Structure 1
Amino acid sequence: MSPRLLNVAVIGGGIGGLCLAQGLTRAGVHVTVYERDLSPDSRLQGFRLNIEPTGSTALHACLPPALWEVLVATAGDAGSGIGFLDERMRPLIHIGQDDPGHDPLDPATGEHAVSRITLRKLLLARLDDVVRFGKEFTGFARATDGTVTAKFTDGTTSTADVLVAADGANSRVWSQLHPALGRTALPAMAVAGKLFLTEENRRWLPHRLLAGKNVFWPRKDFLFTAVFRRREDPAAIIARLGDQVRGLGLDPEHLLADSHDNDYVLWAFITHRDSLPAGYTSNADDDPVAVRELLTERTAGWHPDLRRLLAESTPDSLYRTGFSAAQPLEPWETGNVTGLGDAVHHMPPVGGLGGNTALRDAHRLCTALTAAARGEQPLAQALRAYEEDMLRHGFDTVREVVRNTEAAITRSAVKRSTARWFFRTCGIIPPLGRMVFGER
């Protein structure tokens, strides 16, 4: 089977679409990304993203080696395992505490607390001729010659062999391909925030909050915390990796300019919407004072340091969101339009699994398209195998995240007490804990 010229159009410049573009560019496959944002710095905000081995493997495979090393260096150590505690900070179980130290550059075991700002800048590196900004997608049309044409609000079009939906949970590409797709709204509300680390608050913050990820399982509601501390500052990274970055035709000073993200503790509080006070309206979600009053009321009786963490977080870092999940799709006849990440299997932002799943999709789709471009597999066959794997893994993950969300917001005192008892029992009886959670 001879190689074929393959032209791929990606709609959406999020982490999944850009990871795919990096991988295809590295493999020599022609790709163009169409992003509705007006400029590369339109999204320089957001919380840390926990990159697990699945995401690490994808980024390692798709990024040039020098950019992978820069990513690892700028990231933070995710810490030793994950702790489960009650609202008084009494430990229930700690998973992963006995894991041996791993080489952070090893994608199979690496876990990284990545700044979304830095990740986006690295994923955009070397893609100046690939990413088209200010291109808002409106629809696509297929032709009898096997091509597909994307249309944009500015009146322009682009014709490609494959069109990829990477435009997020409200994907216009995917909704045209599957007009009957559904979404389930979950009765959950989350508030997240950042406490930037200072010399003063490092003195009162409990060690556990500075050591890694934590899940707090109170008698009502739910709290997650994680720490973000960079492994190296930009000056040290430039001194160590600058020549490798220059070898890619990039200016390391420019690449890492404004990339210093102050260290902080991230927290996310989740509650059942029906538990909100009668006077708390949807309009109050945008009022930091009302949000803080809600948190103060809901955390009465919690450990004072947890309450202080929420109270002293930077007001403009507060972020409120509702939860929804994509409904499963039946397999379809593979064509020249496919998708990845939230465009296909949108899920609640619990555990960071959505971002890692999008990166996994990007890696798998890159492998499939590269095999087709090299003549190793027919395009339709490669895309069919990708979609079968993507649907299975993606919606398995959606179901897992929905189960975890429902457990976190359950108002059943019996279920909450049973969960706390179970975690505590697994912590007290190590063989049981290893059987349930693996080596710890």
Structure 2
Amino acid sequence: MVIGGGIGGLALAQGLRHTGIACDVYERTRERADWLQGYRIHINPAGAAALRNCLSPAGWQAFESGVADDDGGFGFLTDQCTDLLELPAAEINAGGGRHYGVSRIRLREVLLDGLGTVHHGREFTHYASDGDRVTAFFADGTTATADVLVGADGANSRVRAQLLPHAHRADTGVLAVAGKHPLPATALPPVLTTRTNLVVPRGRGSLFTAVWPPDYALWGFHDAAARFPAGLTGMPGDALQQVVLSRLAGWSPAFHRLVSGSDPATVNAIRVRSASPVRPWPTGRVTLLGDAIHNMTPMAGIGANTALRDADLLRVQLTQVPLIPAIATYERRMLDYGFAAVRQSLRNAQRAAHSSGFGRAAFRTTLRLTAAVPPIRRAMARGLGR
């Protein structure tokens, strides 16, 4: 059984379904509509390969029919909305495999399709192991028993809290404010409506932008939490917009229009947290997947891809015997690549929020030099988002 109906947990359930292993998913929300929040997700070639392994041919076709290729490429911009470095999609995809953009809502629809064993409204409280069986207990007083319990219940995982009470998430000291600007948007320049960008300003903070055509352009402003007003995470959307706009003083008017033209109902703020490293533990019939074990910042765009990789690897291992050594192999490999991704995303978050003026100037110079040397630019493009 899988606790949690997010991307990783549902991908695992789909994968097990196609290998003939019975799998039930227990999700605390009651309806699919409860998951209508969320933004665009970048699926890199590794994540796409893992997802394809977990889906049926029809499921993969349904996924491909609802995604957008990252045809606009990726750009690094100054705070005046001029290019530091442009990486065309052809160069990004030259390393093999395709990159996809997909809405979180659409991806979950694909992953839920055909799964008749997803039990909504089941809030997990704790588990108990008895020999070769594990029993899960739920807040409504019901229980469920299986051979293996997989905690895929997200960053605040209750399964992790019981299995690894010493594992915790650390506050990175970074705060992010994000929102969505509806499309079409004639007031915005093409670079903000056709491709993904990272703005590297001369001053503090950074801005990430991306596009989900034809619906919206999204943005996320990140900086050290200490540089924001107290109580930011509780502010309404229109107030958050004004806070971000005040931080964009001296930036191109295009960025002001991007933020001010967003629907306040889509604007929210979060404190960015990241999982602390975890050493291997004695393997049993309870294990973890995705954010439940290696929650990371969004600043590398690889969180969902790492969860999909977990699902595919665990799918394979659960078909092996003996079972416990097979799960141990999954855990060992997952901890290695999972926390490598955590470290990468944490470095990106800290660089975005805490780098000095000298460090930013050096990075901008490096980007300009990369743009001027095609072999270096192509090498950087091939490694982007992997």
- Place the TM-score, normalised by the shorter chain, in its bin: over 0.9
Task: Confirm or deny: 8 A CA contact 1:11 1:137 kept in the other structure.
Answer: yes
The alpha-carbon distance between structure 1 residues 42 and 439, as it changes in their structure 2 partners (threshold 3 A), is closer
The equivalent residue for 1:382 is: 326
The equivalent residue for 1:337 is: 286
Q: AA paired with 2:301?
A: G
The equivalent residue for 2:267 is: 318
The equivalent residue for 1:299 is: 248
- Largest Rg, 1 or 2: 1
Equivalence map 1:23-38=2 (5 Å):
23-38=15-30
The secondary structure found in structure 2 opposite 1:313 is coil
The equivalent residue for 1:271 is: 223
Task: Confirm or deny: 8 A CA contact 2:92 2:378 kept in the other structure.
Answer: no
Task: Confirm or deny: 8 A CA contact 1:79 1:213 kept in the other structure.
Answer: no
Question: Alpha-carbon deviation of 1:164?
Answer: 0.2
Note the residue ranges of structure 2 that are not aligned, 5 or more in a row.
none
1:20 aligns with 2:12: yes
Distance 2:265 2:90 in 1: 37
Q: AA paired with 2:243?
A: L
Question: Alpha-carbon deviation of 1:123?
Answer: 0.9
Give deviations 1:397-421, integer Å, cap 9, x for gaps: 0000000001111251111111111
Q: Tell me the TM-score normalized by structure 2.
A: 0.94
The alpha-carbon distance between structure 1 residues 286 and 386, as it changes in their structure 2 partners (threshold 3 A), is same
Distance 1:400 1:101 in 2: 21
The secondary structure found in structure 2 opposite 1:168 is coil
The alpha-carbon distance between structure 1 residues 284 and 25, as it changes in their structure 2 partners (threshold 3 A), is closer
Match among 334, 342, 361 for residue 398 of structure 1: 342
Distance 2:39 2:115 in 1: 24
Question: Alpha-carbon deviation of 1:323?
Answer: 0.6
Distance 2:199 2:172 in 1: 21
The equivalent residue for 2:65 is: 73
Q: AA paired with 1:135?
A: R
Distance 2:343 2:92 in 1: 31
The secondary structure found in structure 2 opposite 1:204 is coil
Question: Alpha-carbon deviation of 1:133?
Answer: 1.0
Distance 1:31 1:101 in 2: 35
Give deviations 1:346-400, integer Å, cap 9, x for gaps: 1112232111111110111111112x2xxxx311121111111100010000000
Q: Tell me the TM-score normalized by structure 1.
A: 0.83
The equivalent residue for 1:138 is: 125
Q: AA paired with 2:180?
A: K
The secondary structure found in structure 2 opposite 1:122 is helix
The equivalent residue for 2:193 is: 210
Equivalence map 1:240-251=2 (5 Å):
none
The secondary structure found in structure 1 opposite 2:201 is coil
Task: Confirm or deny: 8 A CA contact 2:233 2:271 kept in the other structure.
Answer: no
Question: Alpha-carbon deviation of 1:168?
Answer: 0.3
Distance 1:353 1:438 in 2: 15
Following TM superposition, the consecutive aligned residue runs of length 4 or more in structure 1 with deviations greater than 3 angstroms are 431-440
Match among 394, 413, 416 for residue 357 of structure 2: 413
Give deviations 1:59-108, integer Å, cap 9, x for gaps: 21111111211211111122243111111112111234542878xxxxx6
Task: Confirm or deny: 8 A CA contact 1:98 1:439 kept in the other structure.
Answer: no
Distance 2:301 2:383 in 1: 22
1:224 aligns with 2:208: yes
- Count of residue pairs the alignment pairs up: 383
The alpha-carbon distance between structure 1 residues 82 and 335, as it changes in their structure 2 partners (threshold 3 A), is same
The secondary structure found in structure 1 opposite 2:311 is helix
Distance 2:73 2:145 in 1: 47
Q: AA paired with 2:313?
A: R
Distance 1:417 1:285 in 2: 34
1:155 aligns with 2:141: yes
Task: Confirm or deny: 8 A CA contact 2:169 2:273 kept in the other structure.
Answer: yes
Task: Confirm or deny: 8 A CA contact 1:410 1:416 kept in the other structure.
Answer: no
Distance 2:258 2:208 in 1: 12
Aligned-CA RMSD value = 2.0
Percent of aligned positions with the same letter in both sequences? 42
The equivalent residue for 1:357 is: 306
Equivalence map 1:4-19=2 (5 Å):
9-19=1-11
The equivalent residue for 2:99 is: 111
Distance 2:182 2:376 in 1: 37
The equivalent residue for 1:233 is: none
The secondary structure found in structure 2 opposite 1:333 is coil
Question: Alpha-carbon deviation of 1:433?
Answer: 3.4
The secondary structure found in structure 2 opposite 1:31 is coil
Q: AA paired with 2:235?
A: D
Distance 1:197 1:398 in 2: 33
The equivalent residue for 2:231 is: 282
Task: Confirm or deny: 8 A CA contact 1:213 1:225 kept in the other structure.
Answer: yes
The equivalent residue for 1:190 is: 176
The secondary structure found in structure 2 opposite 1:359 is helix
The secondary structure found in structure 2 opposite 1:350 is helix
Distance 1:100 1:282 in 2: 40
Q: AA paired with 1:157?
A: T
The equivalent residue for 1:241 is: none
Match among 81, 90, 100 for residue 82 of structure 2: 90
